[in-house]
Structure 1
Amino acid sequence: MAYLIPMDISPHPTKRIAPPPLELRKHAVFVDFDGTLVDIAPRPDAIVVPSGLARRLNQLRARMDDAFAVVSGRSLHELETFLTGFNGLMIGSHGAEARGIEPPLAHAIPGLPFVQSELAAFAASRGLLYEHKPHGGAIHYRHAPESAETVSVFVHHLLERSPGFEVQPAKMAYELRPAGVSKDKALARLWQEAQFADRIPAYLGDDSTDEPALLWAQENGGFGIKIGEGESAACHRLAQPADVHAWLAAAVEG
């Protein structure tokens, strides 16, 4: 079995410093979706995608010579649905799926149907939300925060019967995903692509699932930008998705 090892996300001494201006020919940008490009919603399917977002991301991607990628815990199918028309690189399921690079980043684990059915049944029995993912599944308890401990206990007990998986805590949710899959590993794979050569990585994310990627960017000569409140190892911070859009737009319009 594999347990998610807690990482040090102690507040960075400069974590509230605004990020430097985005330089289109110098930086490479990796950006989370929920809580970063779009505001968090009560349900994953209730988000509101800003009008014209895909078009603006395509414009940014073109100006950056494709040194841009969306990196999310969402499934790749969901990302493609919400960002219809965006033609750039996408990482889904925390790094288990990818569009635009080969080979695929992860393969299904034999115990996957069991894990998914157990998560779905538990969520249904307690009126919680189950989110199906191609390589795992998640239970959301945003509308029932008192269920946090119950969900945590169940998911960790399920992990004991599910070799090859890890627990991934998120905002008001717990997920089981393939062991060894993470956003920082996804960035390391993307970094092998030619368009990222000699660039400075910048990662933007809002959740604990983004911390490995924020650290990866900083450990590889770049910087992380934490979106919203909460402790983070990121050296910079923006308050909300609207600020992310403004930061990106300033580079394109400047």
Structure 2
Amino acid sequence: MRDPFGATEAPPALDTAQDALFLDFDGCLVEIAPRPDAICVPDRLGLGLAALAARLDGALAIVSGRSLRELEHYLAGFDGPMVGSHGAESRGLGEAPLRPEGLLALQAELAEFAAQKGLLYEPKSLGAGLHFRARPELQAETEAFAARAALRFPGFEVQLAKMAVELRPRGASKDGALARLTRRAPFAGRRPVYAGDDVTDEPALAWAEAHGGYGVKVGPGDTAASYRLGAPDQVRAWLARPLGEDAWDV
């Protein structure tokens, strides 16, 4: 029996006739960068995803903690479904975004804390994040501040991430996004396959495993996924197989 927490095996080739594919963005399709706006995106990534979506009869969606507007910018050429802000906003699903009260006040508090502590503040369309990659000694203090902020702004909840902590709309989640997507055409009736790298992805990886599909953990760390790939370039190479290895720059 495979030990999921020690998963080392690469995933099988995608079955374009039966798989529904859900992909995280940062750390999965592109490498993590010191700043969220410093990522390097392959020129043909969006177009390659569009071509892969066509092979999957449209059953490909992006599911990310990024704001939807950023995903649309970085993945120009891909016009399929996108879920941003950890499930709080989407494109192509006809859903209204989750927009709790107090967003601007919350963002102002997090921005002020970041400025005082020398942290990187990341505004999001429906929340905000604090990155402590440059000051890892402040992790505990930053996470404690975020927890107190969530008490003052009950429409939001804490989301831990790689060297960061976010406040996201309460009730938004990537596994919840998968549950909604897989009830819709063209995803319904297909095997769910989810790939992601962060602790924010673990609920979605576990959801795919529990619903007849499988998860692909990207990079190190304990995981609920059955399979693992080492880095985004390996993810892109895996995705390129149904299209030919020159689908994008891997």
* CA shift in 2, pair 1:13/1:230, >3 Å: closer
What are the equivalent positions in structure 2 for 1:49-60 lying under 5 Å apart? 49-60=41-52
CA distance in 2, matches of 1:197, 1:45: 34
Is the counterpart of residue 34 in structure 1 residue 15 in structure 2?
A: no
CA distance in 1, matches of 2:57, 2:150: 42
Calculate the aligned-residue CA RMSD, in Å: 1.3
CA apart distance, 1:181: 0.5
> What corresponds to 1:196 in structure 2?
187
Is the counterpart of residue 69 in structure 1 residue 31 in structure 2?
A: no
Is the counterpart of residue 135 in structure 1 residue 126 in structure 2?
A: yes
AA in 1 matched with 2:67: S
Q: How many pairs align?
A: 243
> What corresponds to 2:79 in structure 1?
87
Instruction: Name stretches of at least 5 consecutive residues in structure 2 with no aligned partner.
Output: 246-250
> What corresponds to 2:108 in structure 1?
117
> What corresponds to 2:235 in structure 1?
244
Give yes or no for contact 1:94–1:181 (8 Å, CA) kept in 2: yes
Give yes or no for contact 1:227–1:237 (8 Å, CA) kept in 2: yes
CA distance in 2, matches of 1:50, 1:152: 33
Give yes or no for contact 1:112–1:135 (8 Å, CA) kept in 2: yes
SS of residue matched to 1:251: coil
> What corresponds to 2:248 in structure 1?
none
Which deviations, in whole Å up to 9, do the C-alpha atoms of 1:73-120 show, x marking residues without a partner?
00000001111121111110000010011122x321112222111101
CA distance in 2, matches of 1:13, 1:181: 25
What are the equivalent positions in structure 2 for 1:206-225 lying under 5 Å apart? 206-225=197-216
Which deviations, in whole Å up to 9, do the C-alpha atoms of 1:152-172 show, x marking residues without a partner?
111111122111211000000
CA distance in 2, matches of 1:103, 1:177: 17
CA apart distance, 1:218: 0.7
The one of 221, 229, 234 equivalent to 2:220 is 229
AA in 2 matched with 1:80: E
AA in 2 matched with 1:114: A
4+ residue runs over 3 A deviation: none
State TM-score, norm by structure 2: 0.94
CA apart distance, 1:147: 1.2
Instruction: Name stretches of at least 5 consecutive residues in structure 1 with no aligned partner.
Output: 1-10
AA in 2 matched with 1:41: A
CA distance in 2, matches of 1:145, 1:175: 15
Give yes or no for contact 2:59–2:187 (8 Å, CA) kept in 1: yes
Give yes or no for contact 1:70–1:90 (8 Å, CA) kept in 2: yes
Q: Percent identity?
A: 53
CA distance in 2, matches of 1:21, 1:109: 41
CA distance in 1, matches of 2:200, 2:98: 20
Give yes or no for contact 2:160–2:199 (8 Å, CA) kept in 1: yes
CA distance in 2, matches of 1:200, 1:192: 12
